[in-house]
Amino acid sequence: MHDDLAFRQRIDTHLHRLVDEEEAELLRLSSELGPLCDQLRSSLTRGKRMRAAFLYWGWRAAGQPDCDGVIRAAAAMELVHAAACTHDDIIDDSRLRHGVPTARAAFSAGGAGRWGPGDDSGTPRQDRSAALAMMLGDLLMGYAAQVFATCGLPGAYVARTVPLWSTLLRETVAGEFLEVLRTGADGVPEVAESLEVARYKTAKYTVERPLHLGATLGGAPRQVMAAFTAYGLPLGEAFQLRDDLIGTFGDPAETGKSNLDDLRDRKPTTLLATTLALLDPHDRALLDKTLTREALDESDAALVRGLMDGCGARQRVEDMIADRVAAARGALDSAALPMDVRTALGGLATSATARTL
């Protein structure tokens, strides 16, 4: 039987070993790189290791045994995730993640403020903390490739995943790019467009592509790859939809992050798009007026949450989550998978979407 805690500890062991080795190498270059080492370690300290688990079970679905090589390959997915989170926090100007300062906030608190010639108001144009955090994100993505390529599995196994890595990165950047383009944009966000962002920004790299990477490493047949798409896409979308609800309705004391950021930025979430589609003209005007305030506060957010609840948008998103989880489970039921794989993926479907943080 798969032990989730033992699995996470195995992933953490590889990640902590990487940090120890890279910290020594970085400090050998310069003692001034200490803050970079601190944030490298911080970015890999916490996590449910869900993406690693999906890669692992993709491998096992191909009939391959548990081994240290696949654990190391799975750890690479957590480095991809840490890189994506670091870049996302810069884009969103988020100050907290999991209850601790983001890399950008930590660098800023450490004295890495703004620099460069100011504009007419005297405000420096360059944000040093954002630049440092961006480099950390780039470093993490580089480590992901390194860890995966040197995981210890046969070179022929690793080589056949190269196209998938390119696809994963392309899709993730595309989703983030589309979200940035559409955030705060004029007009009413469409539900279909919001789901498109969720699919590429989160759903694919969280569930479908890790499964595909593991299955491809293990030499799984096309039928397994197709089953993982049928399972992974709806589950990945459900994961992001839950994240959207948590981002607005979650308790910061539990989630460790602000529940105002998505509203302040007018993120084109499916929750917001659904709300705008359901509100009557009067309430839609009230919502628009509230979201466009320069200093949206908790009382404004409470009003928005009330509108989302009152028009049924929150429940509509809950229903969308339930529908997608059912579709994912249906794909599992119709696929020829080993029983332990089916059981593990069923459990991951629950933990990915029935969470509060």
Residue 244: inside a domain: yes
- Tell which of 136, 152, 168 closes a domain: 152
What is the arithmetic mean of pLDDT over 15-23? 97
- Tell which of 123, 152, 181 closes a domain: 152
pLDDT over threshold 50, residue 172: yes
The per-residue pLDDT for 188 is 66
Domain count, the chain: 2
pLDDT tens digits for 240-254?
999 999 999 999 888
pLDDT over threshold 60, residue 314: yes
pLDDT tens digits for 217-234?
999 999 999 999 999 999
The per-residue pLDDT for 124 is 46
The answer to whether residues 145 and 176 belong to one domain is: no
The per-residue pLDDT for 79 is 97
Summary mean pLDDT of the chain = 91
Give the range among 7-21, 90-104, 105-119, 193-207 with minimum mean pLDDT: 105-119
The answer to whether residues 196 and 118 belong to one domain is: no
Of the candidates 267, 277, 261, 262, the one whose C-alpha atom is nearest the C-alpha of residue 191 is 277
Whole-angstrom distance, CA of residue 318 vs CA of residue 313: 9
Tokens 């995981």 correspond to 151
CA dihedral 237, 353, 342, 12 (to 10 degrees): 100
The three-state secondary structure class of 337 is coil
> Containing domain of residue 207, as a range?
160-357
pTM: 0.92
pLDDT over threshold 60, residue 349: yes
Residue 204: inside a domain: yes
Q: What percent of the chain has pLDDT over 90?
A: 77
The answer to whether residues 19 and 115 belong to one domain is: yes
What is the arithmetic mean of pLDDT over 295-303? 93
Instruction: Tell me how far CA of residue 276 lies from CA of 191, 247, 256, in angstroms.
Output: 9, 17, 28
The domain spanning residue 311 has which CATH number?
A: 1.10.600.10
The DSSP letter of residue 99 is T
What is the arithmetic mean of pLDDT over 113-120? 49
- Tell which of 102, 126, 152 closes a domain: 152
The answer to whether residues 186 and 134 belong to one domain is: no
The answer to whether residues 198 and 322 belong to one domain is: yes
The answer to whether residues 223 and 107 belong to one domain is: no
The answer to whether residues 127 and 185 belong to one domain is: no
The per-residue pLDDT for 111 is 64
pLDDT over threshold 90, residue 43: yes
Instruction: Tell me how far CA of residue 258 lies from CA of 175, 247, 275, in angstroms.
Output: 22, 7, 20
Give the range among 54-58, 182-186, 193-197, 295-299 with minimum mean pLDDT: 182-186
The DSSP letter of residue 115 is E
The answer to whether residues 143 and 164 belong to one domain is: no
The per-residue pLDDT for 12 is 97
E-state strands within the chain: 96-97, 100-101, 114-118, 124-127
Residue 141: inside a domain: yes
Whole-angstrom distance, CA of residue 77 vs CA of residue 210: 7
The answer to whether residues 176 and 89 belong to one domain is: no
* Predicted confidence band of residue 1 (pLDDT cuts 50, 70, 90): very low
